[in-house]
Amino acid sequence: MLDIGHIHRTEYELDADRSESLGKVVIAEAPGRVHYLGEHGEPKAGLFLSSAIDRYIRVAVSLRKDNSLRFFAADLGERKRTTLINLKYKREDRWANYLKVAVHIFAGLGFPVKGLNFTVAGDIPQQIGLASSSAIEVAAAIALRGFFNVKLSDEDLLSKLIPAHKTFFGKKDTAVDYAIALFAEKNSFLIVDELNLEVTPIRTSLDNNYKILIMDSRVPRMGVDEELKERRRDLKHGLQLLARKHSGTSFRNFVTADLVESMGDLPEEIRRRCMHIVQELRRIDEAEEALLKADQPALTKIILHSHESLRDLYEVSCPEIDWLVKRAQELDGVLGSRMTGRGFGGCTYTIIREQVIEEYKRRLEDYERIFGFHPIIYEIKPADRAHLEPV
């Protein structure tokens, strides 16, 4: 059972008359996100080049006469239900568990969430690493904040989403996704620091002729979790070994020269993993400078080297993804192409001039013939933060 008495709702401003209206409906939407650089970084201390994307999850909230919590996924035609006293993670509730995270927050703040309807719908592609699950949580939290007319800042909401998610799912690896959804700016890339969850927007200098394509390779992925756990163990061990010779508790305290000097002290595989992390941190700094200066050739090299590092040092790519990236990079009019997501399949992104998109798609016919997978393309652009929608 939830402990809902530890914070009184008088801590925030509540318009009781408005919140108790049965006819009231509040709708919020939250964007998905894509990481361009930095996704496979130091655990809990990553640095990312990212953006929100113009694909959204929308959540509508309305009041019920009874004490039931009803959840409806409009796209799936599925319904789930619970009550406040039974508010907990259930595997069979799948998508509804993410809505429960937001309910948990506002119940804990003392708001009357006994009887509510939630409807969720959206156009973020599922299970390809575009943060659709986090978008459900953020959209639901924004909707409830508006429904109860409470003055709770985005920073406060972020600080409550993180522990609420851990309560339900036993992990807290979604903080960066929340920060992007809450603090993104339209037509801007974002530098996101996982250490302090600071989000620094960089207005994109790309002209309207450039498009960003997400390519779902459709490669089946098996054993990814264990592979990634092994990579994280390698990083932890590598950092411990590096700290014996040089003071520092994070890869941010080391440079490439430190890894070169460590030859013979670190097992070669661990040294390669660490080299990727250290060099990727530098690439993100260089990408920020290239974006600020509108230096497109420099950005192209950074993206190319980042994919090569994921392929050769961190070893999370696969032949299908490497083929897609290579064929895209061969086209005159492609600014950059790289894998994105957890790896071992999944997606690439390609920043491409509109005039060569058709040629890019024609090359995918070869991909399907060679590998036997039918890829799916999604066109995206950097989008704005989560917000309430007019009803």
Q: Indicate if 295 belongs to the active site.
A: no
Residue pLDDT, tens place only, 58-88: 999 999 999 999 999 999 999 999 999 999 9
Query: For the purposes of burial, counting CB atoms within 10 Å of the CB of 293, is it exposed (0-12), middle (13-18) or buried (19 or more)?
Result: exposed
Beta bridge partners of 69: 82, 116
In a 3-state reduction of DSSP, which class is residue 81? strand
Fold of domain 210-380: Alpha-Beta Plaits (3.30.70)
Domain map (residue ranges) of the chain: 10-203, 210-380
CB 94 within 8 A of CB 149: no
Q: Average pLDDT in the 30-38 region?
A: 98
232: nearest Cα among 115, 343, 68: 343
Instruction: Output the pTM of the full model.
Output: 0.92
Which residue in the list 154, 177, 216, 234 is annotated as catalytic?
177
Question: What is the dotted CATH code of the domain comprising 10-203?
Answer: 3.30.230.10
Characterize the bridge pairing of strands 68-73 and 387-389.
unpaired
DSSP code of residue 75: T
Q: How confident is the model at residue 244 (pLDDT cuts 50, 70, 90)?
A: confident
The per-residue pLDDT for 242 is 86
Cα R_g (the chain), whole angstroms: 22
